[in-house]
Structure 1
């Protein structure tokens, strides 16, 4: 599981900072999470194969989280893309995107599917044989969702020595990998645990931006391996949180602790601060395994 931070700052883009966008690679899939202004430039800058992006998840319709979407969609068309593209986001994302394509007479060369979200409850929005994506309802000034990405358990690993010892034919290997027991010609049944090793533990990643402090998300992200949580302010500016519907680094750390997260990544920093290291220092007073995002930073899990 690899996470590339394309942008992690709040509000407007600046010369050295970019608004929210992330690329998550999980089980061979590449998911784009939010698409702030300049996202396609960041994808090119960091030499990421963005043609592999087939699913884009937008948290909410504030510009610093989706103004880069129309540009990326248009670039895909200019590059002759043929693969389907799926966009998940709040109701209205389809209207605002298609209006721009219509008025610029810039229709796509590929199928563009919108999955508009309205539910106030957590729902599964994407699922295949390897990954499940679930919404995390957040509390912001407009309808907003975070997203929980979960790997599904993979195949078990063959214990080749044991399989060969029982002289099991190759045609049964697939059944064994998927947990099946094997009955030998002499009638003996060999339990699967004698023939395989456990698969690697399935990983999970939760993206939570933007939101005011809310413990309602804790049950949804309980025991998540990695939590990205917005931390727009430091505790010294906590008075701005309720008005702007954002969080402090300390509040994000509190959520991580209550959720028993494996690791916390802080982001969505206000550009009022001279050093984002202060966010990590503050969060670690509550949750030790806290790190900070930064534009271009890559996390390997």
Structure 2
């Protein structure tokens, strides 16, 4: 089975704490690594989880608060010191690209790899990455400054060949890929064998939505509708709803409401306030009361999406 996995490197908010590092995740799709946000400690978490710098070629920054971006200059510097080659594309707001270019020009003039900046415009919705098996879309979130979420969507998978039919009809190997992609088989005598007699339906495709800093907003539900697994910030308990709203964040119950209303199968909550020094069970209990399939993010956690 092809790998589609989320690695949690950091799930705290604002500042590093004794419990958590700042926001950072790595999506592993068939051994291609995609980083989402890059708080302090990201490169250390990257190493602890056994991830390879050479496989990291795209970094997605949700917004320009320090706890989501302060780890990026150090990460890029370390990658250059390791003589990583090729191109790293950073998907980021324009002001962030300008600041990062200045930093790299001063501290890392001889970078071993090429850096490309893909500028995210505030409020936009578009596909910002695509390959043969995956797309990544951006959509707006609702924080104190421009903020974007990201949806990773696996493209439709190939149909499964029926081995008995392939053998019975002596179908040439050269035609099997096309049949898995949906083609019919035309026998040497011209008779057409429909694809649904040669194959069985493909496995369902998988999707993952990353909703970092945001207030509750039903427009998020609309943007991520139908996604399988949702990561949504849950900085506070509902007893601090007014604080959450004032600071542009969500409570655990609001995160669960988004997942439920979007029709998700699973919710991961994170971006925890450091006030929960005894643990995040109150947040988990609150979310699970609305959306039972909720889990807590934690550093070192690997989540298989398939």
With the shorter chain as reference, the TM-score category is over 0.9
**How far 1:119 sits from its partner (Å)?**
4.1
Rate the CA distance shift 1:105–1:258 in 2: closer, same or farther, 3 A: closer
Q: Which runs of 5+ in 1 are unaligned?
A: none
Q: More deviation in 154-163 or 132-141?
A: 154-163
Aligned to 2:286, which of 262, 282, 287? 282
* 1:151-166 mapped onto 2 (5 Å cutoff): 151-166=154-169
User: 1:95 matched to which residue of 2?
Assistant: 98
Following the alignment from structure 1 to structure 2, what is the Cα–Cα distance between the partners of residues 99 and 69?
A: 13
**Deviation at residue 238 of structure 1 after TM alignment:** 0.8
Structure 2 residue matching 1:124: 3-state secondary structure = strand
Q: Equivalents in 2 of 1:295, 1:205: separation in Å?
A: 18
Query: Aligned partners of 2:111 and 2:97: how far apart in 1?
Result: 14
Indicate if the aligned counterparts of 1:136 and 1:208 stay in contact, CA closer than 8 A: no
- SS of residue in 1 equivalent to 2:290: coil
2:138 match: 135
- Secondary structure at 2:289's aligned position in 1? coil
Q: Is the 8 A contact 1:27 1:151 kept in 2?
A: no
Name the TM-score, length of structure 1 as normaliser. Answer: 0.97
Cα separation, 2, equivalents of 1:27 and 1:195? 27
Q: How does 1:253-264 map to 2 (within 5 A)?
A: 253-264=256-267
- Counterpart position of 2:78: 75
Indicate if the aligned counterparts of 1:57 and 1:89 stay in contact, CA closer than 8 A: yes
Distance 2:107 2:72 in 1: 15
Cα gap change, 1:184/1:105 in structure 2, threshold over 3 Å: closer, same or farther? closer
Task: State how far apart, in whole Å, the 2-side matches of 1:73 and 1:121 are.
Answer: 26
Name the structure 2 match of 1:231.
234
The number of equivalent residue pairs is 301
Q: For residues 107-126 of structure 1, what are the structure 2 equivalents within 5 Å?
A: 107-126=110-129
Helix, strand or coil at the partner of 1:168:
coil
CA contact (8 A) 1:8 1:293 kept: yes
TM-superposition CA deviations, 1:254-295 (whole Å, max 9, x none):
111110111010000001012211111000111111111011
- What whole-Å deviation, never above 9, does each CA across 1:48-104 have from its counterpart, x for those lacking one? 123211111000000100111111111111111112101001111211111112222
Which residue is 2:252 aligned to? 249
Residue from 267, 274, 290 that aligns with 2:270: 267
Aligned partner of 1:293 in structure 2 is 297
**Once superposed, what is the RMSD of the aligned Cα atoms?**
1.2
Once residues 96 and 226 of structure 1 are traced to their aligned partners in structure 2, the CA distance between those partners, rounded to angstroms, is 33
Conserved in 2, the CA contact under 8 Å of 1:207 and 1:227? yes
Matched, 1:25 2:25: no
How far did 1:26 drift?
2.1
1:220-260 C-alpha deviation (Å, 9 max, x unpaired):
21111100000000011111012100000000001111101
1:189 equivalent in structure 2: 192
TM-score normalised to the size of structure 2? 0.95
**Larger displacement relative to structure 2 (287-296 or 27-36):** 27-36
Cα distance in 2 for partners of 1:296, 1:174 equals 38
CA offsets per residue over residues 144-180 of structure 1, 9 Å max, x none?
Answer: 0010000001222221211110111112112111110
Alignment partner of 1:147 out of 141, 145, 150: 150
1:167-194 residue CA offsets vs partner (Å, 9 max, x unmatched)? 1111211211111001101221001111
SS of match in other structure, 2:14: coil
Q: Find runs of 4+ consecutive structure 1 residues off by over 6 angstroms.
A: none
